[in-house]
Amino acid sequence: MPAIFDLTDHHALVTGSSKGVGRAIAYSLAQAGADVVIHARELNDEAKSSIKRCKAHDVDAQFVAGDLAQSSEAVVDEVFAAALEANPDIDILINNAGAFFDVPFLEMTFDGFEKTIRLNVEAGYFLTQRFAKYWIERRVAGRVVFVGSINGELGEEHSTAYDISKGAIRMMVRTLTIALARHNIRVNGLAPGLVRSHATLWLDDKPEREKWLAAHTPNGLVPDSAVCGPGAVYLVSDEAEHVHGHMLMIDGGMGAWQHPDPPADASDVGL
């Protein structure tokens, strides 16, 4: 990270940070000098690897467990309490935990839809509420980032619940900004496009599909999830002190392109 984005003496909880985008954000925060609390459902090898890599940047890295997909009030309270026990000086919250549980719309059940909303929306909403109360009481200038998705901007046929949840995150960034800005708490979000992570391992088995998706991205790339980390660092840095309610698109321009022209040789993208 450029030296200008210095997070020394800051402390972050990153939910869902044992792999994928969450892990990339945790690495970047640590590289910028922030202590981090890694969160996952359990302390597995991936979580241990995340902790080790963060500590390599000479920062403190702790771990808390909790299944936010259950997202009951008790689970949120447990994660909140455990995070503060690990590091009572947390002033940065990255709400990254989320997952895709979709089936086609006509097959969606109440339970399936509610599970998506519990993890992708409710957990971050109420975890932010807990931290906001804690920060306001202690006059801490808190910083919150919600991780949305290109799917909060552009819908897909077979991801209705997921798309709705990511659209909700976009509005959550805006409405919580209004609720919390006067308390010196900044709320922003970032929305990755298609990146390589544990959730997109299917790309390795479908190279033609990857080419087709890259053709729908102006810069033509499907990068590693590491591209998401620096954006999060900026949003929580002092340099972004006047940035409130912003959703930073990290999508290679995908969200700006209405419809790409077909390539000269359509076979290049599986058509």
Distances (CA, A) of 194 to 33, 160, 210, 213, 263: 28, 17, 10, 8, 20
pTM above 0.85, yes or no: yes
pLDDT, tens digit, 9 for 90 and up, residues 205-241 = 777 778 877 888 899 888 899 999 999 999 999 999 9
* Alpha helical stretches, state H, the chain: 20-31, 45-55, 73-86, 110-117, 123-138, 160-180, 207-215, 229-236
pLDDT score at 11: 98
Q: Which residue has the higher pLDDT, 215 or 135?
A: 135
pLDDT, tens digit, 9 for 90 and up, residues 60-118 = 999 999 999 986 899 999 999 999 999 999 999 999 999 999 999 999 999 999 999 99
Distances (CA, A) of 265 to 84, 215, 222, 268, 269: 56, 12, 20, 6, 8
Q: If pLDDT is split at 50, 70 and 90, which confidence band does 35 have?
A: very high
Decide: helix, strand or coil at residue 144: strand
Give the pLDDT mean for 130-142.
98
pLDDT score at 71: 63
pLDDT score at 27: 97
Q: Does the pLDDT value for residue 204 go beyond 90?
A: no
Q: Which residue has the higher pLDDT, 7 or 194?
A: 7
Domain limits, the chain: 11-201+222-249
pLDDT score at 266: 52
Task: Quote the mean pLDDT of the chain.
Answer: 92
Element (H, E) at 251: none
Would you state the CATH architecture of domain 11-201+222-249? 3-Layer(aba) Sandwich (3.40)
